[in-house]
Structure 1
Amino acid sequence: MIPVTEKRKANVQAIKDIVRMNQVWEQEKGEQEAAELHYYHIVDALHRKWQTIGVNVSDAIEVFERGYNDAWTRIIEPAPWNPNLTTNDLIHLLKISPEAVQIRHAMQIILNTVERRNAFIRRIINVNEQAIQRLLYLMKDEYLRYEQLSNEAFMAMYVMNPVEALSVYFLESVDVHMYWEWCDAGGTGEQAIQYKHEDPHMTLIQAIERVEEEMYAGT
């Protein structure tokens, strides 16, 4: 089998355990034992159980690293629910490098509840940087459309900590400088609610521009 290089791996998920199971096909008389193809069960770092195939452990790992395949490599037991799963836990389990700052920040902002973090583990299949980014932004889109923070919860948070409130509401990184820019433009919590109802995908920068346009139009 052709070796799988790091760049070609569809699945870079760490393996915690691997066990050889039954033969895939009955061995024909006269075939060498080394050529036997077996099923292998793999438990990955997310505690999901996979089934794959190989003639030996190394071969099975290579097949696993090529990623999900409905015929040979698939998840047979999902990860158990983890009520204590933190963002840092998830970053560690997924082996996200310190250099992947954008992914780390996105995970902290988008997966901001234990329910969302567990949902991410349930939905991710192959673990690699591209797959992680793709799923993160798919889930962000869904949350903005269908699970927006309620008006009441947002306003209560806005009174206590407006920077955090805007970050959670827009699901993007917001610092104090961006908040000041929002305030200087005349932005309020009520306007944020109005804009997000009109366009759930509006970014805070776009909202600031909208406030400025309305202010200039009124002068």
Structure 2
Amino acid sequence: MPLRSVLSRLSISIRLALWFGLSLLVLLTLFVTGLYVSVHLGLHQDLETQLREEAKAVQTHLRAHGGAPPSSSPSTHALRAAPGTFVRLLGPGGEVTQASPAFQSRPTLPADLPQPGTSTLQTRTWGETSAQSLYLPFESGSQPASWLEVTKLQSPIHRQLHSLRWWLALGILGGVGLAMVVGYGLARRALRPVASLTAAAREMQDQPTGKLPTDFGVADELTDLAETFNGL
């Protein structure tokens, strides 16, 4: 059965509630989509800012202590990093010369060096989650040019966005459902004069000299219609 045919069988109150709910659903969806995209981009920009600030702090610390001394094992000299941050110093070929202690509890992270002399921000899979790494060229005293790698996991951002998606979806559904119920009640209340006019018109079938009611508490189009019929 065509949708238009189904809608034509519904009462005016239900149709008004449905159209109101549909309009609100479209508006809320557009607003929530824009809000979600804005929050998503903002969180990733904050993550990039944190990476660059942490990299700057590590560079300042290493240069203040005369650069990174060479070592045969990544664990012989631990880099200090903020909680949730993974820092490594890499040689020209990507070999690990130093690493922060946080790497000990994580799977191996292959290095993906950019072009020499450039910095880059990369998003990649690390174990069962995704991570973002910032690569910066770093001069290590008399040693060849090496790389500073600062990495943060994106799982905290993804958890926040996942929770935000659920709350926004529930907010949309709850808001539209409540709006439809309230809209239906308001439509029924607004159409009470129509029911009064219909009842009075049926009584006039047996008593043609009767009149339609015109006192609805407010002078509106229905009042004008009733007075026009009474004038006939």
For normalisation by structure 1, the TM-score amounts to: 0.20
Q: Which protein has greater RCO, CA pairs closer than 8 Å, 6+ apart?
A: 2
For normalisation by structure 2, the TM-score amounts to: 0.19
Pick the structure with greater CA Rg. Answer: 2
